[in-house]
């Protein structure tokens, strides 16, 4: 539980980082807070950072799971930012903040229009320049939520929609006749602004978190249908 004074300080630091177009994790924020006199540890304060997620989305920010020496963590970043330097800094810490390149970003509070396709709307290209989208029809699989509350999206279906290890995959929440549906596609897909972004794992998969699944199904749902067709994957409760 984060103390009120520390929570206020953390919120101030997050606002400063956003104004500077900085890429940051909860640990970056809590470390700065401790340098400014916060009296709690990271585990007590990190929830105050994640609580700002809704506000960050309104200010042109997204988040991506990135690897660190101790496991994956959320990196909060301006939409379109290149995370390469930030990920390198996590694996080889220097203490220097990483700021996104301004030319790749939308203005604050100006999210891309859901009806306007970004410049790069084609599937990912292979090293030879050929499209990596498989010319196959829809494939349907069923997966069960794992014991750590993750849903594995199979590598062959990820590859089918044109994504390869290291690519940015976006998770999109869309309205449907019976409520909402969850789709996975390239982060620069024309379907609008991703709810969250993931980097495709080295083994070609991505693993959705329970919090995303809860947006389309009851928290008790454990089995999901995964349908890959065209350039996107649709996930729904089985």
Q: Summarize the confidence of residues 60-66 as an average pLDDT.
A: 89
pLDDT score of 208 more than 60 = yes
pLDDT digits (tens, 9 = 90+) for 162-181: 999 989 998 988 776 566 78
The per-residue pLDDT for 54 is 86
Split at pLDDT 50, 70, 90, the class of 28 is very high
Alpha-carbon distances, residue 142 vs 81, 178, 198, 216 (angstroms): 33, 20, 21, 16
The per-residue pLDDT for 100 is 63
pLDDT score of 26 more than 90 = yes
The per-residue pLDDT for 94 is 61
pLDDT score of 135 more than 70 = no
Q: Summarize the confidence of residues 56-63 as an average pLDDT.
A: 86
Alpha-carbon distances, residue 157 vs 90, 125, 229, 232 (angstroms): 30, 16, 9, 9
Question: Could you tell me if 186 and 168 are in contact, meaning their C-beta atoms sit under 8 angstroms apart?
Answer: yes
What DSSP element (H or E) covers 180?
strand 179-186
**Percent of the chain's residues with pLDDT above 70:** 79
Please, where in the chain does CATH 1.10.10 lie? 4-104
DSSP class of 8: H
Level-2 CATH architecture, domain 139-237? 3-Layer(aba) Sandwich (3.40)
Give the three-state DSSP class for 66: strand
Q: Is the alpha carbon torsion for 171, 76, 202, 133 positive or negative?
A: positive
Cα separation of 181 and 188, whole Å?
Answer: 18
Cα separation of 31 and 44, whole Å?
Answer: 12
4-104 belongs to CATH 1.10.10: yes
The per-residue pLDDT for 219 is 85
pLDDT digits (tens, 9 = 90+) for 103-123: 344 433 333 333 333 333 334
Cα separation of 31 and 27, whole Å?
Answer: 6
Please, where in the chain does CATH 3.40.1550.20 lie? 139-237
pLDDT digits (tens, 9 = 90+) for 37-57: 998 999 999 999 999 998 888
pLDDT score of 30 more than 90 = yes
Q: Summarize the confidence of residues 175-203 as an average pLDDT.
A: 80
Edge-to-edge strand list for the sheet holding 139-144: 71-78, 61-68, 196-199, 168-176, 179-186, 232-237, 223-229, 139-144
pLDDT digits (tens, 9 = 90+) for 141-163: 888 888 778 888 988 999 999 99
Of 97 and 198, the one with more pLDDT: 198
- State the chain's mean pLDDT as an integer: 79
pLDDT score of 125 more than 60 = no
């Amino acid at each position: 539980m984060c103390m009120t004074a520390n929570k206020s300080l953390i919120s101030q630091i997050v606002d400063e980082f956003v104004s500077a177009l900085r890429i940051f994790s909860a640990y970056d924020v809590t470390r700065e807070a401790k340098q400014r006199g916060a009296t709690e540890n990271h585990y007590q304060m990190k929830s105050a950072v994640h609580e700002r997620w809704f506000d960050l989305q309104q200010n042109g920010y997204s988040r991506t799971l990135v690897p660190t020496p101790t496991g994956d963590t959320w990196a909060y970043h301006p939409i379109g930012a290149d995370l390469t330097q930030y990920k390198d800094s996590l694996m080889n810490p220097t203490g220097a903040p990483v700021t996104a390149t301004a030319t790749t970003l939308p203005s604050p509070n100006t999210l891309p229009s859901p009806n306007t396709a970004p410049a790069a709307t084609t599937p990912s290209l292979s090293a030879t320049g050929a499209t990596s989208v498989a010319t196959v029809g829809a494939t349907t699989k069923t997966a069960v939520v794992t014991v750590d509350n993750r849903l594995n999206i199979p590598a062959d279906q990820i590859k089918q929609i044109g994504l390869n290890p290291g690519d940015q995959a976006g998770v999109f929440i869309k309205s449907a006749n019976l409520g909402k549906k969850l789709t996975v596609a390239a982060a620069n897909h024309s379907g609008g602004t991703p709810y969250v972004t993931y980097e495709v794992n080295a083994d070609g998969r991505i693993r959705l978190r329970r919090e995303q699944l809860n947006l389309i199904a009851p928290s008790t749902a454990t089995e999901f249908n995964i349908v890959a067709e065209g350039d996107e994957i649709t996930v729904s409760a089985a």
